[in-house]
Homo-oligomer: A and B are copies of this chain.
Amino acid sequence: MLNIHEKIPLATTSAACCDELPALRLASDEAQQLAQMFKALGQPVRLQIVDILSRFGGKVCVCDIESQFDLTQPTISHHLKALREAGLVDYEMRGLWAYYFVRPAQLQQLRMLVGEWIGGQPT
Interface set of A (CB-CB < 8 Å, partner B): 1-6, 17-18, 21-26, 28, 31-32, 34-44, 47-48, 50-52, 54-61, 63-64, 67-68, 97, 99, 102, 104-105, 107-108, 110-111, 114-118, 120-123
Contact = CB atoms under 8 A, between A and B. Distances in A.
Contacts of A52: 21, 24
B21 A64 contact: yes
8 contacts: A3-B60, A4-B67, A32-B44, A38-B38, A57-B120, A105-B123, A108-B123, A111-B111
A118 B26 contact: no
Contacts of A3: 60-61, 63-64, 97, 99
A117 B35 contact: no
Contact of A118 (B47, B97, B111, B120): B111
Contacts of A38: 38-39, 41-42, 47
